[in-house]
Amino acid sequence: MQRLRGIFFADPAIVLATIFYGAISLVVSFFDATGALQIRVARRWAKMLLAVSGARVHVEGLEHIDPGGSYVFIANHQSYMDTPVALANIPVQFRFLAKRGLFQIPFLGTHLSRAGHIPVPREDPRAAVKVMQRAAEVIQEKKISLLIFPEGGRSHDGHMRAFKEGGAYIAIRARVPVVPLVLIGTRKLLPYGAGVVLSGDVTLRILKPIETWPMSLKERGALTEQVRDLILKELH
């Protein structure tokens, strides 16, 4: 049985690290319009958060990706800890596709916007399509990657929900590979609705990229289901 050590999410070390790195991120944003420096700062913050929490992350499949390549990473979403795990361990310049509400939070919203992360207006389907089109253009123009949690939010009960097709749409339109990511164990660190972070083992499994260049947008549904099935298989 895995032994877990509980700590409060509001642990002073976590709070201080977040304020410290958040301030640095804001400052460097005035000197780098690409967002690359902010992502480097965010990686350091993520590593600090995982270290303070006592999370031990095991990464598998790094050989499947090129640090200089462009991808659309599609991952299951079990916990708020998914984000720092991905930031700290995927050695690729990537941005998040996130719900617009996060960009309206003071301080956090400023960081997300200035770093180049992309807000999605879920309540407006037409606007969401335009955002996805723009996301594909950003991937091509800036030669970066994108990370998407296609369930539309964290799992409430640990069971993976249906995937939305946005990630597949963007990857096909940008002509970049889709890379399925499997996050195992993050729910045990910070379950849905919990205020306490627990230490423990987490696995980040990077599956083989799926090429999209021969696909049409009509195939986005099939690609979405293929990615979901691959991730689901790894979770069982």
Q: Which domains does the chain have, with CATH numbers?
A: 6-235 (3.40.1130.10)
The pLDDT of 171-197, averaged and rounded, is 89
The region, left, alpha or beta by phi > 0 then psi within -120 to 50, assigned to residue 175 is: left
**123-157 pLDDT, tens digit each:** 777 888 898 999 999 999 989 999 999 998 887 77
Single out the residue of 78, 72, 45, 44 nearest to residue 185, CA to CA. Answer: 78
Q: What is the pTM of this model?
A: 0.87
Check: CB of residue 75 under 8 Å from CB of residue 181: yes
- Flag whether pLDDT at 3 surpasses 70: no
**72-99 pLDDT, tens digit each:** 999 999 998 898 999 999 999 999 887 7
Q: What pLDDT, on a 0 to 100 scale, did the predictor assign at position 1?
A: 32
Output b/e per residue, 63-91; b: 16+ Cβ within 10 A. eebeeeebbbbbbbbbbbbbbbbbbbbbe
Poorest-pLDDT segment among 12-16, 187-191, 215-219, 228-232: 12-16
Single out the residue of 188, 109, 189, 120 nearest to residue 148, CA to CA. Answer: 120
Paired with 97 in beta bridges are: 118
CA 185 to chain centre: 16
- E strand segments, 61-106: 72-75, 94-99
Single out the residue of 27, 49, 50 nearest to residue 38, CA to CA. Answer: 27
Q: What pLDDT, on a 0 to 100 scale, did the predictor assign at position 102?
A: 66
